[in-house]
Amino acid sequence: MSLFSGAVTLRKNVGISDEEFVQLRDFIYQQCGIFIAENRKYLVENRLSGRLKDLNLKTYGEYYHYLRYDANRRQELNRLFEVMTTNETSFFRNPPQLEVFRKVVLKRALDEQRKKGRKFLRIWSAGCSTGEEPYTIAIILSEALGSELSLWDIKITANDLSEAVLASARNGVYSEYSLRTTPKDIVARYFIKQGMGYRVDPKLKRLVSFGQINLNDKLQLRRVERSHIVFCRNVIIYFDDEMKKNVISAFYDNLLPGGDLIIGHSESLHNISRTFKPEHHPGAIVYRKQG
């Protein structure tokens, strides 16, 4: 998940006052934990101007009132999440990290399960966007297990705040741009050409379960099945320190003993959590829950 990326075109006819900005900023924070700094005011104005137009509202104060009290506020909350988050991603994003996942984290998890006489693996992709990350994980798993894949009980739980991106993920059709960092032989093996796009192979879809989640909702987080590995890349950078600590604590609780947390390559748990043991690898840090 990424916030406020892409080109911005400002509307000049409707302005947001300081009071309205504070109201909406605090409301968004309370709802989903995304913190919007003061210098992002113009972006909030731009992102929400279309909602004012669609709802025939004159001010951002009216929009805040709509979000709080209108009969359709739950539906509009989903629209708010959609317009306030953008989702710039691709398959096989950040190859050095994925190599560490494949060679170290996944191999260790599979070996440990085999030693226990089990073929059971749970992975959580928190902030999955339009599905590129969990499907990438599924491809790496398929490559690692080969013909043994069907003998394993594997589930990749993929969650995001936006229902719109989840609908796209479930559909599983992607452009060449989404596959720009994917090896050609992988595209040939795991995607079916469909018009101008590429459809994910059904055998990958069976490994992934998509659902909406709000990382600011402790009850929702506790309902996620316990995991051997958690991915949460390029998400916590949009939270303030308190929210970061809450989310990382929830990941720690979710992980099984000996489990691993993988966050974005530019992110760090420094000054956020000391419960994980950081493992330094070329191109990636893996945060391990002690067994």
CA atoms within 13 A on the CB side of 109: 27
Non-local CB neighbours of 54 within 8 Å, separated by 6+ positions: none
- For the annotated catalytic residues, the residue numbers are 47, 160
Neighbours of 91 (CB within 10 A): 24
Q: Tokens for 51?
A: 């909602």
Per DSSP, what are the bridge partners of residue 125? 158, 231
- Provide DSSP, 194-225: ETTEEEEPHHHHTTEEEEE--TT-HHHHHHSP
Rounded to whole angstroms, how far apart are CA atoms 25 and 240?
13
Nearest to 34 by CA among 81, 87, 96, 102: 81
Strands of 255-263's sheet, edge to edge?
Answer: 208-212, 153-160, 120-126, 227-232, 255-263, 284-288, 277-281
H or E element at residue 257: strand 255-263
